[in-house]
Structure 1
Amino acid sequence: MAEEKDFNIVLDEIVLLEENTHKTSYEEGVKAGTEAGNPEGYHLGYHRGAELGRELGYYLGIITHFIRLNENSDSKCSEKISTQLEKVKNLIDIFPRTNSEDHDILSMIENIRGQYKKACALLKIPSTNPYDADISF
């Protein structure tokens, strides 16, 4: 014996069939896209982060070298140069080590690059970075 359904429910199912199918298909597509896109996004972020870390590590190595050279040298560099070296070091030290939406890393990295170039100009050394990947997001 056939199950009896209310006529209004059957009519609603017929009328709304296209809309319900569209909604279900959309949800399945979003789920499939998310699952496919997450690994790709992770790898892109990982590699961009590694490039950025390498750049900052290079800057920190140069800056630390000149800070130590200044500390161990008989002829100290000017106060302006010392201040600029410390400023770059502090900017790199406060750069976030984890992903956070609270920080604008693009403006932070541009600030670090600018301050590093200023320190290099004061030291009269080239500011070129051998790892320069021209990172842009």
Structure 2
Amino acid sequence: MSEINKSDFIEDKDINDVFDDIVLSENKVYDESYKEGYQKGVSEPNIEGYHLGYHRGAELGAELGYYLSIAENYLNKSDQAQYSDKIKQNLSTIIKLIKEFPIENVENIDIFAETDKIRSLFKKACALLKIDAHYTEIDRLSF
């Protein structure tokens, strides 16, 4: 039998390559794990994420629908009540923003900022109209 020599199993590597492999091993594992996780995410549906998005979207739609109905109602009564132009303009802006609100995912529109803008205009309109039209379900919403 021939003698087993360690050099038969070890490739001739430069010591710098060995150190680079040690230092970069974490990056390699991270990259491989990211690719594996991404492939799983693409290939497997995320039912929980779908349901969360669906329910949050329904809650947001209910809130915006509430604001829209009140704004349209008060704007329709504006001839009888003779509201100021400032109130009419505010109500018209609320209606316009809600009708332009995206109903599908649009990457260049921040729906949270748009929702906050509509909420603040609605609060301003309520203050100008001197009404308390607080949306009672808003306390349950969490974005």
Tell me the TM-score normalized by structure 1.
Answer: 0.71
1:106 paired with 2:104, answer: no
1:68 maps to which of 49, 70, 76: 76
Match of 1:38 in 2: 46
1:47 paired with 2:55, answer: yes
> Separation in 2 of the partners of 1:33 and 1:111?
34
Q: Which 5+ residue runs of structure 1 have no aligned equivalent?
A: 1-10, 12-18
Gap change, CA 1:33 and 1:103, over 3 Å in 2:
closer
Q: Which 5+ residue runs of structure 2 have no aligned equivalent?
A: 1-10, 12-24
Identical amino acids, percent of aligned pairs? 43
The one-letter code of the counterpart of 2:124 is: K
Point out 4+ residue stretches in structure 1 off by more than 4 angstroms. 25-37
1:131 paired with 2:133, answer: no
* Count, aligned residues: 115
Gap change, CA 1:35 and 1:114, over 3 Å in 2:
same
Deviations 1:34-76 (A, max 9, x none): 66661111111111000000000000010011011114x1x41
Q: Is the 8 A contact 1:92 1:112 kept in 2?
A: yes
Gap change, CA 1:48 and 1:135, over 3 Å in 2:
same
Gap change, CA 1:31 and 1:87, over 3 Å in 2:
same
Tell me the TM-score normalized by structure 2.
Answer: 0.69
> Separation in 2 of the partners of 1:30 and 1:103?
25
Gap change, CA 1:43 and 1:64, over 3 Å in 2:
same
> Separation in 2 of the partners of 1:43 and 1:49?
10
The secondary structure found in structure 2 opposite 1:131 is helix
Gap change, CA 1:30 and 1:81, over 3 Å in 2:
closer
> Separation in 1 of the partners of 2:40 and 2:89?
53
Larger Cα-atom Rg: 2
RMSD: 2.5
The one-letter code of the counterpart of 1:47 is: H
Match of 2:102 in 1: 96
